[in-house]
Amino acid sequence: MLNGFLVLNKPAGFTSHDAVAKLRGILKMRRVGHAGTLDPMAEGVLVMLLGAATRASEYASGADKEYVAGFELGVTTDTQDSWGTVLSRAPVAASRRDVEEAVRGFLGQSEQTPPMYSAVQVGGVRLYDLARRGIEVERGSREITISDIELLPPREGDGPNEYRLRAVCSKGAYIRTLCHDIGQKLGCGACLTSLTRTRSGSFTLREATGFDGVAAAAAEGRLENLIRPVDGLFSDLPALVVNAEGEKRALNGAHLAARHLQSGRVPPEGGLCRVYAPDGGFLLLGVSRPLDRGGLAVFCRKYFTVKEDHA
């Protein structure tokens, strides 16, 4: 059983679930997942989780993402991208300076309404399932943060209404909807024409590998060069090393106090941390919580040890 993660360069035309199925076939294993979804139209960085690392999905999906997106002004579609059915066409009076100002206006926190063609659930049903049946429902907006955004220079061959932007955004932001909203702000509409995720957390497109590269590594016995240990997903969290008693307690689901630590400190209340065995093996993610009798301790959030009893 392989345990860890790899950084995949997902090609356009694959859903995130398709990517899971493809890797299951290449790696000949069932326990494959992903951290954060990527639209079928999009390509680029998708972190794939293997074996015990599949337990990390809810924690690894929250990292910020960077995208490069192409969009066309004057066109709207039912999916907010060029793969959808055209709903309207309108003349475009906006200058490049107008577009730059509109793009910069989305910097910071804002409310965004998820598109109907999305995996968001309303009443236990995926929005895209409703959209495919021609049903549109009321859906609440969500707060997103765009920490960096810019209009990119034009490329040779771009049409008069074709633009590209780069955006760094929080979990849950839809770039399709961002482009749609830019078009609405300019009064002419817009739709996404291309999308590349260039970064997910600290993992970049430069270090990502395509399906062919993974298949070649598997065939040549070089997978260890691609698969990284699961704790690499949490490198920004503080690390604790437990003593022998602490390891036993951790593997039995008991809390860890300061006396159970070989090195490191219990983080402030609510803080997440990585917990390691005395031999350096990664055991689990922990969270600091108060004890009834006073003081703080680390409580297990999710096991990642591959020891037989807890794999």
Positions marked catalytic: 39
Cα–Cα nearest to 74, from 190, 162, 165, 154: 190
For residue 11 the two structure tokens come to: 């090609």
Asked if residue 189 lies in contact with residue 124, where contact means CB atoms within 8 angstroms, the answer is no
Asked if residue 140 lies in contact with residue 123, where contact means CB atoms within 8 angstroms, the answer is no
Give the whole-angstrom CA distance, residue 52 versus residue 31: 8
Find the radius of gyration of the CA atoms of the chain: 23
Cα–Cα nearest to 257, from 247, 268, 266: 266
Give the whole-angstrom CA distance, residue 208 versus residue 133: 36
Asked if residue 60 lies in contact with residue 52, where contact means CB atoms within 8 angstroms, the answer is no
